[in-house]
Amino acid sequence: MKKAFIKSYGCQMNVYDATRMADLLGREGFVETGAVEEADVVVLNTCHIREKAAEKVYSELGRLRVLKGERAEAGLDTTVVVAGCVAQAEGREILGRAPGVDVVVGPQSYHRLPDLLRRARTERVVDTDFPVEEKFDHLPPRRAAGTSAFLTVQEGCDKFCAFCVVPYTRGAEVSRPVAKLLAEADRLVAGGARELTLIGQNVNAYHGEGPDGAVWSLGRLLRHLAGLPGILRLRYTTSHPNDMDDDLIAAHRDCLAVMPYLHLPVQSGSDRILAAMNRRHDADAYRRLIDRVRAARPDIALSSDFIVGFPGETDADHAATLRLVADVGFASAFSFKYSPRPGTPAAESADAVPESVKSARLAELQELLERQRQGFNHATVGRTVDVLLEKPGRHPGQVAGKSPYLQAVQIEAGIETVGTVVPVRITRAGSNSLFGELAGAAPAAAA
Ligand code: 5AD
Ligand code: SF4
């Protein structure tokens, strides 16, 4: 049996792509292994969004080179594949920088992986095409999924925010046709999935061809999926504020399956910085949008992404970001120091913010966001919420799942409850998980 080790960095799209590469390699007779030293093929599915993410790849490749040498001494071949967005951005350069690499393959051409592996027996190969053929048509059907599964509905981005590599690494925005998505969703549900998270770099820009010939929006797609048997929960990520249309907001109001959680990156609360970032909306437009979303679904939990230290950001701009956070209130958030990415417009800017200032601003922002997150979690204590149970918990006899608001929840229950939604009374909030008990369960001593 040949073995493959696949490691993914970065966003959920990469997690999805890694599962599809595993499906492909499975069809070629590989079994997946978690032990890199026994792998005949090692795939690093890389992320290029910030410098740190990209640099991780090269330190990992250094370790792999040593491992490859040790395996060679034992008479074993190892094929090292760099996939994902670093592969797309750096292409052939990777071969020069990392001598142990055999295959470089971009996110739009990984369906050719079996062929690339065959060619790699005799040469080092690079494929960073944006091919005309549909990648998804060349991938095998999805294998059994877990309780919660990702479904790629849209890829790429046409927004060109000044800091972001995505439009270059993932290419132009493309929506998959509805019929293909429904077929994939069917297989996932048949394989045990109860929650689908629709993913795309800019997923709420979805505009796929419907079976009726019309163009379907994300709102329409969600409404349709919400009506299908077996699908208990729907989520989607990640979105741009300017693509939150009325129909999508209404889907949050009308569809019980659409979870009351919205990840809507704003990046900054300063109008000047938002303009420099080419986000094409101002801070008040974001506040008004959040008001509309909350009017439709009052209990919705909000999440966002923030960048501190974008070129030219002043103390006043940073204060405006803190004000926006204080005004909106987030249940969770990701925040980053600005990292110049080669090829993006912002990387050309001269007025860089000093590293020490970036660090101080990040600490201040994260402190506020963390207080909001803890406040949100503590407010759940004493309430009864529906929990989708997904997997065994940290300790025997425990099962782990998610609240509608994407909080991790641990309860005492048998493993047979995995895959069901149960009402749970939250009794305690830890720093990263909530703890609770089945609501309405008979007291243990009653019988
Ligand atoms: N520097 C720092 N953060 C970035 N992000 C995207 N590009 C950069 C960059 N150059 C962040 C944004 C985005 C998230 C996925 O990563 O906040 O929403
Ligand atoms: Fe990048 Fe998102 Fe902006 Fe697209 S909308 S360029 S993916 S930050």
The alpha carbon of 285 and the centre of ligand 2 are apart by a number of angstroms equal to 18
Q: What is the pTM of this model?
A: 0.95
- Enter the DSSP assignment of 267: B
The predicted-structure confidence for 318-350, as pLDDT tens digits, reads as follows 999 999 999 999 999 999 999 999 999 999 999
Pocket perturbation via mutation, ligand 2, pick of 166, 306, 336 by most ligand atoms within 8 A of CB: 166
- Enter the DSSP assignment of 203: G
**C-alpha span between 164 and 184 (Å, rounded):** 30
Ligand nearest to the CA of 159: 2
The predicted-structure confidence for 59-83, as pLDDT tens digits, reads as follows 999 999 999 999 999 999 999 999 9
Say whether 432 sits in a helix, a strand or coil: coil
The alpha carbon of 33 and the centre of ligand 2 are apart by a number of angstroms equal to 34
Ligand nearest to the CA of 306: 1
Structure-block tokens of residue 71: 């395996």
Residue 34 buriedness (CB in 10 A; 0-12 / 13-18 / 19+): exposed
Residue 142 binned pLDDT confidence (cut-offs 50, 70, 90) = confident
Per-residue confidence (pLDDT) for residue 440, from 0 to 100: 74
Strand order in the sheet with 195-199: 148-152, 195-199, 233-237
Per-residue confidence (pLDDT) for residue 91, from 0 to 100: 97
